[in-house]
């Protein structure tokens, strides 16, 4: 298990926020609009489930890792919703306090582990002791 995956799994639960893309556009920057959250996901890694602010109910996920990071994969019919953690910001005690993340919805089974596009965001441990 790589260090990023170990840090994410040891957190137990992660809350993730993703923006809507528009707020990163030149038009939004010129207008001075702040980033807008498109979705919030709460990952329960101990039970391998996700709760999505845009849909009802908890859904099962698979947790996979590769050289690019750790991936939370939710099957959604013939497609996949994938959240990938790609890096972590370390706090004073060297624990990961925040993870850089991307979230995408794929219709290609070959693309399930590394979303090239999608929404940018971040994840943080839900509970901090």
User: What would the pLDDT profile of 94-119 be if each residue is shown by its tens digit?
Assistant: 888 899 998 888 876 665 555 566 78
CA distances from residue 69 to 3, 33, 43, 55 in whole angstroms, order as listed: 9, 31, 16, 26
**Residue 36 pLDDT grade (very low, low, confident, very high; cuts 50, 70, 90):** low
User: What would the pLDDT profile of 62-72 be if each residue is shown by its tens digit?
Assistant: 998 887 789 99
- The answer to pTM > 0.75 is yes
Domain span including residue 75: 3-125
pLDDT exceeds 90 at position 12: no
pLDDT number for residue 85: 92
pLDDT number for residue 111: 54
The stretches of the chain forming alpha helices (DSSP H) are 3-11, 26-31
Q: Which two tokens mark 22?
A: 């528009």
94 or 86, which is more confident? 86
Lowest-confidence region among 14-18, 19-23, 24-28, 43-47: 19-23
What's the structural domain count of the chain? 1
Cα angle, residue 112 at apex, residues 125 and 115 outer, rounded to 5°: 65
- 91 CB-near residues (< 8 Å, 6+ apart): 97
Q: What is the CATH number of the domain that holds 67?
A: 2.40.128
**How remote is the C-alpha of 19 from its chain's centroid?**
11
């Amino acid at each position: 298990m790589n260090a990023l995956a170990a840090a994410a799994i040891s957190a137990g639960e992660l809350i993730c926020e993703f923006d809507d893309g528009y707020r990163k556009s030149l038009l939004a920057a010129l207008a001075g609009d702040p980033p807008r959250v498109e979705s919030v996901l709460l990952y329960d890694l101990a039970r391998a489930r996700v709760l999505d602010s845009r849909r009802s109910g908890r859904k099962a996920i698979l947790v996979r890792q590769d050289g690019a990071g750790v991936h939370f994969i939710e099957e959604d019919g013939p497609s996949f919703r994938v959240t990938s953690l790609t890096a972590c910001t370390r706090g004073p005690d060297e624990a990961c306090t925040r993870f850089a993340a991307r979230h995408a919805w794929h219709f290609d089974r070959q693309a399930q582990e590394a979303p090239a596009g999608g929404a940018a965001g971040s994840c943080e441990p839900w509970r901090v002791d």
